[in-house]
A and B are shown apart, each in its own frame.
Chain A
């Protein structure tokens, strides 16, 4: 429900709301194209899209670092813009490759950020000490920022985004350039923070989205082609699939191949000598299809090393969305009336 209170302020139960947001650079490059979407409060929102889709530009528009060519954006009901301190007071931003003043030390930098967030010293300093410990930067707290590694810089960026204890986090590719341990740390942190905050993760790494997000928006060529719960996106897949990793003698594997070749209700693709991906026909019950597959494995006297259901579901759904968007061609053009309908709906697509 939306209550308009003034021209610039709208009270909403959503964290982010954009209406026909458009950004054109120099009347040449359309970075964000008539973008209308909403992010509910309290979700971990995966902001998906290929490189150049307009994710980062959208985040910068929300922060007021850039001005929209047309349209408006609201964060917790406050209109975004260059002087919208009320918006930035509620947002913790982590850029893709955060840049820091190298001559400062982590504590000094976070203290400065805290001052910019107008936090009193008696609240700020204990919080920063606690944050440094939480992100694992205590051992390097006495070093200058210029001597920190990429992973440590990302941790510092994370800490900086949390200094103001904001209810909304905008993290732009938080796992970019991180080693596996640092990546796991970042993803675990997102899940932890998502318990009492709205978190927006812009990335093109589907595995990250799959692991932590419960709400997703897919951008393509500056437009939001899907916005809704993660499960709904996965359900958009036309078919279900299973990936089986088998163990056994070569002749048994050949036997299994022959058994599958005879089935017209299954689409089979061998990923390796012992790994097969089986896609069931639309309308087939998953449990029934799986039981039948198990029977065939047993019949071929093979051992089942592992089985994964819904393999690549997010990736498949994502690619399918992009493909559908391209296939729509001119239908993607929205008339003002259609556009208004879309913006009033829950999932403008």
Chain B
């Protein structure tokens, strides 16, 4: 009961504040303007990828980090400590409720801003190149983006609790997150970078991920490709490492090899670790 009560209270506090209301309004407005701007230009998959851009790349990551960073800190912590943590609840319940409310808020704003606009864009009769966006693709792309956003939220959450000051946490998170694309590219795990994910979105949207026939075909193709590569290696020696081109929306085919499960699990693990870290810090903290 305390977990539900606290989550409800946090949700009410969040949605009663100007930040979330303003963000939700701006996100919906921006996506509608995007839809109208590209109505006659972009095919379905590229249009949806464009709608995801503000969430994955810029500017909404700032809002999401702010939401996380301001959860438990400053004067708010005093209110929470006196009012709630002196009651019979555990710190785990408190942290979970605080995180859960923010996660629900992020999901709600994402759903509000992206889904209706995306559905209009996909199902409306638009004068653009005919292109198939699968339901599987929509689900997989949405889940991927949501997991990334929760990871981002958890980063802000951890830094907010660690530094006790929301603004300092926001600045630090900005400097951690903003160069993340360069950092991931350096370690050759560019597929995890938000920009790459955004660019890979059209591929994800076009594919049918859950149909067994197509999956099987993909596996066979992969096996054939592996056999061919092995043959070439034996024939010509090991290949030189190739520098991966940074793709843009016009070259999205380069992201055919994206593995949503790998990306999703990785970001999921990071989210769990960040949230667990936040709890560990909060548990040992004096209030």
A contact residues vs B (CB 8 Å cutoff): 25, 60, 63, 65-67, 82-83, 85-86, 88-89, 91, 93, 95, 98-101, 103, 109, 112-113, 115-118, 160, 164
Contact = CB atoms under 8 A, between A and B. Distances in A.
A88 B9 contact: no
Contacts of B286: 25, 60, 65-67
A164 B87 CA distance: 9
Nearest to A111: B5
B79 interface: yes
22 contacts: A25-B286, A60-B286, A63-B86, A65-B86, A65-B286, A67-B284, A82-B90, A83-B90, A83-B91, A89-B88, A98-B83, A99-B79, A100-B79, A100-B83, A103-B16, A112-B9, A113-B87, A115-B2, A116-B5, A116-B89, A118-B2, A118-B88
Contacts of B82: 93, 95, 98-99
A112 B88 contact: no
B13 A85 contact: no
Interface of B: 1-2, 4-6, 9, 12-13, 16, 75, 78-79, 81-92, 283-284, 286-287
A82 B5 contact: no
A30 B61 CA distance: 42
B287 A65 contact: yes
A127 to B, nearest CB: 15
Nearest to A95: B82
A83 B285 CA distance: 12
A89 B88 CA distance: 5
Contacts of A89: 88
Contacts of B4: 115
A117 B2 CA distance: 8
A113 B84 CA distance: 7
B283 A82 contact: yes
Contacts of A91: 86
A114 to B, nearest CB: 9
Contacts of B86: 63, 65, 88, 91, 93, 95
Given A93-B86, A101-B79, A117-B88, 18 more contacts: A25-B286, A63-B86, A65-B81, A67-B284, A82-B91, A83-B92, A93-B82, A95-B82, A98-B82, A99-B78, A99-B79, A101-B9, A101-B83, A112-B9, A113-B87, A115-B2, A116-B6, A116-B89
Contact of A99 (B83, B88, B90): B83
A116 B82 CA distance: 13
Contacts of A93: 82, 86
A88 B88 contact: yes
Contacts of A101: 9, 13, 79, 83
Nearest to B282: A82
A77 B84 CA distance: 23
A164 B89 CA distance: 13
Given A82-B91, A82-B283, A98-B82, A118 B9 contact: no
Nearest to A102: B79
B9 A65 contact: no
Given A67-B284, A85-B89, A99-B79, A116 B16 contact: no
Contacts of B84: 116
Among B2, B4, B283: residue with most chain A CB under 10 A: B2
Nearest to A63: B86
A203 to B, nearest CB: 17
Contact of B88 (A95, A100, A116): A116
Contact of A85 (B1, B12, B78, B90): B90
Contacts of B88: 85-86, 88-89, 116-118, 164
Nearest to B16: A103
Nearest to B5: A115
B285 to A, nearest CB: 9
A116 B87 contact: yes
B79 A117 contact: no
A85 to B, nearest CB: 4
A93 B78 CA distance: 14
**Ranked 4 nearest A-B pairs via Cβ:** A115-B5, A99-B79, A116-B87, A85-B88
Contacts of B13: 101, 103
